[in-house]
Amino acid sequence: MTDRTNDIATLITQLRVVGQLTRAEAQVAQLRVAQATSDAVREELRQNAADADGRGARIAGALRDLGALPDPVTPLFGRVATLVRGALEQAQPLDEAVLGDLVLEHQLRDRADYVAALADATGRPELRALADDLVAAHTETIQWLTDLLADLGAGRPAALGASPLQQVAAQVTHVANAPARGALDKVGAGVAETATKVAGAARDTAADALHTATTATTDAASGLAQSAVTAAGAVRDTAAQTLDTVTDATGKAVTGAVQGASAAADLARDAAAHALHRTADAAEETADAAADTVQSTTEPAAPPIPGFADLPAHAAVAALRTLDDPRDVAATLEFEQSHGNRPAVVAAARLRAATVGAG
């Protein structure tokens, strides 16, 4: 058989606590009699106090049946505690006192449920019946107190009225809380204002950061654009210098294509004037001779320079400088005149023909 000694000890402990709380309940009911607002309520409260005394007596009998020793000290302390509680309740509003009563009733009902479970565990149906009666009584009282609070909250006539001291306590509490509400409103307004300022500062900071970033981006873009312009200018200058260099290398023949012998003389300014004229005459004779040679063909022969027609002008001029045979130069000149007819290339070919012919 299972040893239930610990469960019985726990059951005795809980019955002692429930008995003490039940005595407190009876004394509270006696205190509430003076606050009843009608004779019917006053009689009901007296009956409640008597019923609580009856439940206390049943609990004491159950303890004796379990072999528990009498406890003369705890009831004495319970009565003292109830008197102190009654005195303290007079210093608080009625609704707070009723809420305290409701807490007491909930604790009694919850402990009665626990006693029922222990009674089942120890196989004592008489204690289970006692626990069920306790649960029913406290459930009814809880509902009565809940309805009382609803009446107090709605301002309807209630079963209990505040004592003179409780009325004073309610007024003091109201007066004490009224300034606090205004203070809280001011604090709330201050917090809202502070939050608004913080949000504004954050917004301004974000705007400054965005402006700075935009300025930096704009400056960077301007710098890049300026650099691009500078680079383009540098490329343009370099291209111009390269073109000048190529033109100088070929005897500055580009202008000569448009202006004839005068341009050729300018491009070959380092040479003697008379030698230049002789060179130009020799170039014309060589070109005429080459033209007579290839006159019989319908299509000029391909120049000895591969892909000559696809070469850029400056590359074609540079390629002409590599030719040493007058016939090759003549063929290249005729080919250029029949195809691209680029002035700079034609002028360079004539100049090269003059050079190789003079040599």
CB atoms inside a 10 Å sphere around CB 3: 7
The closest of 263, 260, 266, 250 to 316, measured between CA atoms, is 250
Q: What percent of the chain is modeled with pLDDT above 70?
A: 55
CATH number at 78 reads 1.20.1260.10
Q: What percent of the chain is modeled with pLDDT above 90?
A: 46
Looking at the domain assignment, is residue 215 inside a domain? no
Determine the pLDDT at residue 185. 59
CB 166 within 8 A of CB 88: no
Q: How far apart are CA 77 and CA 63, in angstroms?
A: 19
* Same domain for 153 and 22: yes
Looking at the domain assignment, is residue 242 inside a domain? no
* Same domain for 266 and 121: no
* Same domain for 289 and 153: no
Give the model's confidence band at 250: pLDDT under 50 very low, under 70 low, under 90 confident, else very high. very low
* Same domain for 258 and 158: no
Looking at the domain assignment, is residue 82 inside a domain? yes
User: For 40-90, what is each residue's pLDDT tens digit?
Assistant: 999 999 999 999 999 999 999 999 999 887 666 566 656 666 666 666 666
Would you state the torsion angle of the CA atoms of residues 58, 60, 64, 69, taken in this order, to the nearest 10 degrees? 170
Does 185 or 153 have the greater pLDDT score? 153
Own/partner contacts of 78-86, CB < 8 Å, gap of 24 or more, are 78/20, 78/23, 78/24, 79/23, 79/27, 81/24, 82/23, 82/24, 82/27, 82/28, 83/27, 85/24, 85/28, 86/27, 86/28, 86/31
CB 131 within 8 A of CB 22: no
* Same domain for 146 and 10: yes
Looking at the domain assignment, is residue 87 inside a domain? yes
Domain count, the chain: 2
Determine the pLDDT at residue 92. 79
For residue 340, give its domain range. Answer: 254-358
Does 4 or 133 have the greater pLDDT score? 133
Looking at the domain assignment, is residue 100 inside a domain? yes
- First CA to last CA across the chain, in angstroms? 140
Determine the pLDDT at residue 208. 61
Residue 277 has pLDDT above 70, yes or no: no
Determine the pLDDT at residue 5. 73
Determine the pLDDT at residue 349. 92
* Same domain for 147 and 43: yes
Determine the pLDDT at residue 167. 75
Q: Work out the burial of residue 222: count CB atoms within 10 Å of its CB; fewer than 13 is exposed, 13-18 middle, 19 or more buried.
A: exposed
**Which residue, 138, 162, 186, sits at the end of a domain?**
162
Q: What is the mean pLDDT of residues 143-165?
A: 91
**Which residue, 162, 196, 212, sits at the end of a domain?**
162
Looking at the domain assignment, is residue 196 inside a domain? no
Contacts of 278 (CB under 8 A, 6+ apart): 358
Looking at the domain assignment, is residue 239 inside a domain? no
**Which residue, 162, 195, 211, sits at the end of a domain?**
162
Determine the pLDDT at residue 111. 97
CB 127 within 8 A of CB 59: no
Across all residues in the chain, what is the average pLDDT?
A: 74
Residue 235 has pLDDT above 50, yes or no: no
